[in-house]
């Protein structure tokens, strides 16, 4: 196959745009933040499960505290009733029984108040545990939102670069002879497709060509389409090729 040096150079530009298209396509499909966002989602799920457990424990303590407060209210009501009856009683035996019950109620109230204080302390700790867990979730959400916004920005930039490279590629490819472009596209499936030979090195596979291969290239005509013996890419010769 023959092609002018200018057409062969344009083919290298096409290869560069194809590489750019692949890079930007990968970037828009796989923003670097995506992995961390998924980690944060999993972390938030774990944190939320723990928050649910802590909320349950706090609700249980609130229920227990309400029960104790209700019991205290019952004891206070009974004490007030018995005190009223004691004040109005003229029967010594009845009065003695009421005094005994009032003493028992006082002890009961003291026990309830001790239990109430203990539950209130535990409830305070439970409230703090819930608040700490909510703070962790809020921080995780903030990190996730920040990373998601950054990922959207990266995707938008990569998409814009992908679209621009695709347009440029289409325009440039239209100026390359069809047979040369077809040969390149067939090779590009498994290699760079086309690359400059610079300082006796193929820029497609970065291999230095042997003396025998270089001599063969020296004998080739300027418009001959030649190939890298290492990677098979179309090898484009310039003044910098070292021939």
Q: β-strand 226-227 against 234-237: which pairing, if any?
A: antiparallel
**25-46 per-position pLDDT tens digit:** 999 999 999 999 999 999 999 9
Instruction: Find out whether 57 and 126 touch, Cβ atoms under 8 Å.
Output: yes
Residues paired with 226 in a beta bridge: 235
> What pLDDT is stored for residue 13 in this prediction?
96
95 CB neighbour count, 10 Å cutoff: 15
Instruction: Find out whether 176 and 183 touch, Cβ atoms under 8 Å.
Output: no
Residues paired with 194 in a beta bridge: 234
> What pLDDT is stored for residue 39 in this prediction?
94
Contacts 24+ apart (CB under 8 A), 176-182: 176/7, 176/10, 176/11, 176/14, 177/3, 177/7, 179/1, 180/1, 180/3, 180/7, 180/8, 180/11, 180/225, 181/11, 181/14
Q: What is the 3-state secondary structure (H, E, C) of 115-167?
A: HHHHHHHHHHHHHHHHHHHHHHHHHHHHHHHHHHHHHHHHHHHHHHHHHHHHH
> What pLDDT is stored for residue 202 in this prediction?
95
- Sort 180 into a burial class: Cβ within 10 Å, 0-12 / 13-18 / 19+: buried
Report how far residue 208's alpha carbon sits from residue 199's, in angstroms, rounded to the nearest whole number: 8
Residue 99 has pLDDT above 90, yes or no: no
Q: β-strand 194-198 against 234-237: which pairing, if any?
A: parallel
The DSSP 8-state label assigned to residue 210 in this structure reads P
Q: Summarize the confidence of residues 95-102 as an average pLDDT.
A: 88
Question: Model confidence at 61, in pLDDT bands (50, 70, 90)?
Answer: very high
Q: Summarize the confidence of residues 132-138 as an average pLDDT.
A: 97
Buried b vs exposed e over 189-223: b needs ≥16 C-beta within 10 Å? eebbbbbbbeebbbbbeeeebeeebeeebeeeeee
Residue 242 has pLDDT above 90, yes or no: no
Edge-first strand order for the sheet with 234-237 is 201-202, 194-198, 234-237, 226-227
Instruction: Find out whether 200 and 194 touch, Cβ atoms under 8 Å.
Output: no
Report how far residue 241's alpha carbon sits from residue 200's, in angstroms, rounded to the nearest whole number: 5
> What pLDDT is stored for residue 185 in this prediction?
95
- pTM of this structure: 0.69
Which residue segments constitute the domains of the chain, with CATH numbers given? 5-26+174-237 (no CATH), 30-157 (1.10.287.1490)
CA proximity to 189, closest of 231, 237, 224: 231
Report how far residue 205's alpha carbon sits from residue 192's, in angstroms, rounded to the nearest whole number: 8
């Amino acid at each position: 196959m023959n092609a002018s040096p200018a057409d062969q150079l344009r083919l290298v530009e096409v290869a560069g745009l194809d590489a750019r298209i692949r890079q930007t396509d990968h970037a828009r499909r796989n923003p670097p933040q995506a992995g961390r966002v998924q980690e944060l989602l999993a972390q938030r799920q774990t944190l939320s499960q723990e928050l649910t457990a802590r909320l349950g424990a706090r609700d249980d303590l609130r229920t227990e505290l309400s029960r104790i407060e209700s019991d205290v209210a019952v004891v206070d009501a009974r004490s007030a009733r018995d005190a009223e009856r004691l004040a109005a009683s003229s029967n010594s035996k009845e009065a003695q029984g009421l005094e005994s019950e009032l003493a028992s109620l006082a002890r009961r109230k003291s026990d309830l108040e001790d239990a109430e204080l203990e539950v209130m302390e535990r409830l305070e700790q439970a409230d703090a545990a819930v608040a700490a867990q909510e703070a962790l979730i809020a921080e995780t959400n903030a990190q996730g939102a920040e990373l998601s916004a950054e990922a959207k920005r990266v995707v938008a930039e990569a998409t814009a670069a992908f679209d621009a490279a695709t347009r440029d590629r289409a325009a440039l490819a239209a100026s390359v002879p069809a047979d040369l472009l077809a040969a390149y596209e067939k090779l590009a499936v498994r290699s760079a497709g086309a690359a400059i030979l610079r300082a006796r090195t193929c820029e497609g596979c970065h291999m230095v060509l042997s003396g025998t291969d270089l001599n063969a290239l020296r004998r080739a005509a300027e418009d001959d389409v030649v190939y890298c013996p290492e990677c098979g890419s179309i090898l484009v010769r310039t003044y910098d090729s070292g021939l």
